[in-house]
Amino acid sequence: MQKLSDAGFEGYIVGGCVRDSLLGEDPKDFDVCTNALPEQIKTVFSEYRTVDTGVKHGTVTVLIEKMPIECTTYRLDGKYSDGRHPDSVFFTDSLSEDLARRDFTVNAMAFNPKDGLIDLFGGQKDLFARVLRCVGDADTRFEEDGLRIMRALRFLSVLDFVPDNFTAAAIFRKTELLRAISKERIAKELILLVCGRNASAVLERYSDVFSEIIPEIKPMVGFEQHSKYHIYDVWKHTAVAVGASKPDKNVRLALLFHDIGKPSCFRQDATGAGHFSGHEEVGAEMTDKILRRLKMDNQTISTVNLLVRNHYITPVADRTSVKKLLSEIGYQNWKLLAEVLHGDNMAKRSMCFERIPIIEQMKSIADDIIESRECYTVGMLHIDGTKISELGATGRDIRRILNSLLTDVINDVIPNTSTALLQRAKEIYRNIRLGSVYYG
């Protein structure tokens, strides 16, 4: 800002960095707005590396001590024909005109040391009142950029704000605008939203919005479970479970989708009790399709699917059971699954709270297994495929023998020693050659 001032231009930090600073939080990045044009910005910062990240829209990124700072010329936006990007932009010398085009009052404040805080729309008052309010007409702001609907819900969740009545009403009126937004942008906002401190309330109140971007959610809303374990319908249970869990991306996405298969699997018995047999498998398949549709990365898709598929396990705090679980899903996935199980059970009737200490015991057992380097994978066996091949086994039989050995070690049938494993391998291979069906 000083360099811009020394060159005869205005310069203010603006938007989220001002908001976060006023909240006493460290800004994640800094944006600067100025009356300098893009070419003038590059001249002012000629001693630094600059990147033309959006010159057409007035933005030049300046890299100072490895920190990227976006510097954008004051501008006015033209019409938004696609409901996402302005057809054209017009540079202006007016800071007030630039601030007037922004989405929410808490993001429409600017600051520099000389002039102090520039707050033309009551953003600071809204910030401390924890109110989210659109700048100007709410319908217009959302019509300009439909993604602002998701941004609004993200701010409500992450900042624990409430919307003013006009903003809330416009969110519901303009939900269909999300259809024109790229799946990648929606996914990015969704991840930030579900990890927010107020995610539970936002998910529950704005189910219509989430049903718009993920239609599979709609049958969950108001779907009664008729179960002695549940006090909420499927969607409210989902919302409460998300909010009761660790704010980890994989954990919260898994809880968002963990019961999405329930409506299609619902059956009632003669007593009226509800059952959802197989909902975890159906849910995992649905989750895979949804996450791929949202263009999420393969690692996230794989991890979340695994968590959804395994969320219905019964917690059992004995060493053998925990080893089997570690063998099936791995230690890192187990740590995530433990958080999913915690959130799921915290959103049920109080009788299910008794499972929480069992989950904690399982976590301790798993940690001890890892620290003790106890065997729970084929790779940890004190025998390998080469040694088994010396018995005459090949290909599929080698894999079968190794898996059988692992099962025996996990079940404490034999110790994990090379002598015991080789002897057992001979017995298994002999049974295979005799045509016996042996899978360990």
Residue 363: partners with Cβ closer than 8 Å, 6 or more residues away: 335, 338
Concatenating the DSSP letter of every residue in 277-293 gives TTHHHHHHHHHHHHHHH
Contact 72, 32 (CB under 8 A): yes
**What tens digit of pLDDT does each residue of 224-270 get?**
999 999 999 999 999 999 999 999 999 999 999 999 999 999 999 99
Calpha distance 13→110 (Å, rounded): 6
**What tens digit of pLDDT does each residue of 105-156 get?**
999 999 999 999 999 999 999 999 999 999 999 999 999 999 999 999 999 9
Predicted local confidence at residue 440, as pLDDT: 46
Predicted local confidence at residue 86, as pLDDT: 66
Query: In the 8-state DSSP scheme, what is residue 315?
Result: P
Query: In the 8-state DSSP scheme, what is residue 104?
Result: B
Region 87-102: mean pLDDT is 91
Region 167-174: mean pLDDT is 98
Q: Is the pLDDT of residue 438 over 60?
A: no
Rounded to 5°, the CA angle 98-131-71 comes to 25
The residues facing 117 across adjacent strands are: 111
In which order are the strands placed within the sheet that holds 11-14?
Answer: 49-54, 59-64, 67-73, 30-34, 11-14, 109-112, 116-119
Contact 156, 202 (CB under 8 A): yes
CATH pick for 1-129 out of 1.20.120.160, 1.10.3720.10, 3.30.460.10, 3.40.50.300 = 3.30.460.10
User: What is the sign of the dihedral through the CA atoms of 290, 293, 296 and 300?
Assistant: positive
Predicted local confidence at residue 9, as pLDDT: 97
pTM of the model: 0.91
Predicted local confidence at residue 439, as pLDDT: 47
Q: Three-state SS for 416?
A: coil
State what percent of residues in the chain have pLDDT above 90.
Answer: 92
Strand duo 131-132 + 75-77: pairing: unpaired
Find, among 345, 347, 368, 349, the residue nearest to 357 by Cα: 345
What mean pLDDT value characterizes the chain? 95
Query: In the 8-state DSSP scheme, what is residue 70?
Result: E
Q: Three-state SS for 50?
A: strand
